[in-house]
Amino acid sequence: MSKIEQLRISGQLPSPKGVALAVMEMSRREEATLDEVARVVQTDPALSSRLLRLCNAAANGGRPVASIREAVLRLGMTAVRQLAMGFSLVDQHLQGPCASFDYSAFWSHSLFMAVAGQELGKMVRAASPDELFACGLLAQIGRLALVTVYPAEYAAILAEECHGVALLELERERLGLDHAEVTAVIIADCGFPKALAEPLHFHEQPETAGFSDGSRPCQLTHLFFQARRMADLGLSAVTERHGNISELMLLGSKIGLDATGLGEVFDRVVRIWHEWAELLKIPVGPLPSFDAMANAPVPRPEQETAKGHVRARVLLVEDEPTTRMLTEGVLCHLLGGAVYTAENGQQALSLALQVMPQIVITDWLMPIMDGLEFCRALRATDWGQSMYVIMLTGEETEGKIIEAFEAGVDDYVVKPVNGRALGARMRAALHYVKLLEAWEGDRAQLKEFAAELAISNRRLQHAAMTDVLTGLPNRRAGMAALTRFWNASQRTTQPVAALMIDVDRFKSINDQHGHAVGDQVLQEVARAIQNSARKDDIVSRIGGEEFLLVCHNADARVALLAAERLRRMVKALRIIIAGVEIQITVSIGVASREAGMASEENMLLAADKALYAAKNNGRDRVCLCVQGRTHCP
């Protein structure tokens, strides 16, 4: 028996308790109903409020949900089970036996990934946002399990300070299994569908998944990976943010997000993350906006002696005229250009805002505002944090030097100023400026590249999902919409219907008037169908002269009325091309979701069957398929 199976049987893995456990056990019964689940959920005020909040967040401004029963109906059995499990584990494991493991940071990161997955899911539409929230919340649950079962051993692993692949390898070496394996077991026990569990298993190393490019599992794997990287940025140290932002820009561009769009999504995730953290009692800290982090001063690179020569803007602050003149002369010789000067810190602060110097050389003892106050004032601003500051001082005691460095000074020169000593310090400063400019150039190029890539990907995605002739969504987009509406109908029990529409005798139009005229006729029909559809309905051209209209929240009666209205609208069209009026009609097959249908394909086949019946009954008519039988009123 494998080690993971031993843990599963032993009952040592994290598991739900109380109402969450009751919900999980109830959902495993085939005869369990959503009403029964709702009654159980209502006994736990905390779980109830969390499900209501999640349900209303997913409503996107629609009618708010006030009752637990309606929330459970909207979320569906699967999502309620997953969320109950996740919330129960959060409540149980805000603290634990391993002193080296930061439980708060773990749940803060998991919660961030949950919200990021939910928000990205609204854009990618590869799965229900509610289920993606649950996936993000439990994506790293294997780590919590290993910390819980092996607290001492895992503390030793944490001391190694390894991440990513290295952490997985160290876990396997020390414990005989890794957190990805344990996560997969817990996720399976929680009842997550394989369609979500597999992508989640590979999200840390998406390149090893082996899913076909563009497939739904591939999309989900990269969605989880991007949500993970967003969470990494949210909890990263200030010095690590620039690298994370660069990677996120490239990832965002793959789903059509430029820097601005990515920033809007990230800031929205941060806001929702804070709201959830307050609800779950998870401590989280403040976080700057994405734009502020992306444009923050560069972390200082290591200083090395520079061999090259670079022109730089230098500000010299010295109150003593003779010293100021001599030092300015040395600097002009070193730089081969002008140096800006000021007599005190207050004057220098105003001048620095105007000229934005890259290097500042300031005396310590000055009237009005001394060098130390000036340096602190610089470092308190966003624009002053990346400036390289050299302090001129008459004292070289350890205490004074420490005080200067703590105020934000990068280097110092002892007065009276020695030209060679100042030159050596300037070489280090100029090297820093050179590295800073190179980095900022790379960052600008990256932002430009990410923006161009995002635009390109948006165009490609639009082209891949759009019919060139009519501008409607194509067959691929139509089938995706049908699947999405079908899944929503299963979760919410709201009806859904499909209308198959075919232009009557279209071949004769092509034969008599030519294909160019036929194309114009199809464009007119497409516009008519689009104008007839409701705001939330999806119209697509699925091939030739056939169109598909998917009606959200429409039963057979409503869909039949919509189809008849559309038939009459098309028949009343006056299509005049090159002075010739072309009269057209359409035949429409209608079907709605029924209890015996296993998938959306069954509903589509029923609508197709009704369409053939309409054609066989004289065309220019609407037929309905119910329980496999067609009716042509």
What is the pLDDT at residue 166? Answer: 82
Confidence of residue 71 (pLDDT cuts 50, 70, 90): confident
Average pLDDT over every residue of 10-28? 79
What is the pLDDT at residue 521? Answer: 92
Number of H helices, E strands in the chain: 26, 13
316 close to 340: Cβ distance less than 8 angstroms: yes
Please say if the pLDDT value at position 47 is more than 50.
yes
What is the pLDDT at residue 600? Answer: 92
Average pLDDT over every residue of 56-82? 75
What is the pLDDT at residue 456? Answer: 65
Residue type, 11: G
592 close to 497: Cβ distance less than 8 angstroms: yes
83 close to 50: Cβ distance less than 8 angstroms: yes
Q: Give the residue extent of every domain in the chain.
A: 3-294, 314-437, 475-631
Average pLDDT over every residue of 132-139? 90
Rounded CA gap, 448 and 160, in Å?
A: 38
pLDDT digits (tens, 9 = 90+) for 311-338: 678 999 998 888 888 888 888 877 766 7
Q: Domain 475-631: give its CATH code.
A: 3.30.70.270
Residue type, 416: P
Q: Average per-residue pLDDT in the chain? A: 85
Confidence of residue 532 (pLDDT cuts 50, 70, 90): confident
What is the pLDDT at residue 453? Answer: 66
Please say if the pLDDT value at position 308 is more than 70.
no
Confidence of residue 304 (pLDDT cuts 50, 70, 90): very low
Average pLDDT over every residue of 524-529? 92
Q: Could you tell me how far CA 187 lies from the centroid of its own chain?
A: 22
The more confident residue out of 384 and 296 is: 384
The more confident residue out of 53 and 57 is: 53
pLDDT digits (tens, 9 = 90+) for 457-500: 666 676 778 888 898 999 988 998 899 899 888 888 889 999 99
Confidence of residue 305 (pLDDT cuts 50, 70, 90): very low
pLDDT digits (tens, 9 = 90+) for 245-298: 877 887 887 777 777 888 899 999 999 999 989 888 898 888 999 888 887 765
For 332, the token pair is 């002009």
What is the pLDDT at residue 22? Answer: 86
Tell whether pTM > 0.85: no
Average pLDDT over every residue of 598-607? 92
Please say if the pLDDT value at position 303 is more than 50.
no
Confidence of residue 585 (pLDDT cuts 50, 70, 90): very high
Please say if the pLDDT value at position 144 is more than 80.
yes
Closest CA to 524 of 465, 608, 452, 583: 583
Average pLDDT over every residue of 3-23? 77
- Per cent of the chain over pLDDT 90 is 28
- Assigned CATH class of 314-437: alpha beta
What is the pLDDT at residue 455? Answer: 66
End-to-end CA distance of the chain: 65
What is the pLDDT at residue 336? Answer: 62
Average pLDDT over every residue of 372-390? 89
Q: Which CATH number fits domain 3-294: 1.10.1270.20, 2.30.30.90, 3.30.450.40, 1.10.3210.10?
A: 1.10.3210.10
Any idea which of 238-247, 386-395, 550-559 has the lowest mean pLDDT?
A: 238-247
Q: Please tell me what DSSP assigns to residue 238.
A: G
Average pLDDT over every residue of 542-553? 92
User: E strands of 436-584, at which residues?
Assistant: 496-503, 538-543, 546-552, 575-577, 580-582
Q: Please tell me what DSSP assigns to residue 140.
A: T
User: E strands of 472-559, at which residues?
Assistant: 496-503, 538-543, 546-552
Confidence of residue 444 (pLDDT cuts 50, 70, 90): low
The more confident residue out of 447 and 217 is: 217
Q: 3-class SS at 496? A: strand
pLDDT digits (tens, 9 = 90+) for 55-65: 777 555 456 77
Confidence of residue 523 (pLDDT cuts 50, 70, 90): very high
Residue type, 457: N
Q: 3-class SS at 315? A: strand
The more confident residue out of 159 and 11 is: 159
The bridge status of strand 575-577 relative to strand 580-582 is antiparallel
584 close to 521: Cβ distance less than 8 angstroms: yes
Using only C-alpha atoms, the chain has a radius of gyration, in whole angstroms, of: 33
The bridge status of strand 359-363 relative to strand 314-317 is parallel
